[in-house]
Amino acid sequence: MSGGSFDYAYSKVNYFVDDLDDRLNDPEEALSPEVMAKLREIKAIAENTAQLMRAVEWLYSGDDGEGTFLRKFKEITESN
pLDDT (0 to 100) of residue 57: 96
For 11-46, the pLDDT digits (tens) are 999 999 999 999 999 988 889 999 999 999 999 999
pTM of structure: 0.89
Indicate whether 3 belongs to any domain. Answer: no
Indicate whether 1 belongs to any domain. Answer: no
Tell me how many domains the chain contains: 1
Domain extent, residue 66, equals 9-78
User: What is the CA angle 67-69-73, rounded to 5?
Assistant: 120
For 38-74, the pLDDT digits (tens) are 999 999 999 999 999 999 999 999 999 999 999 999 9
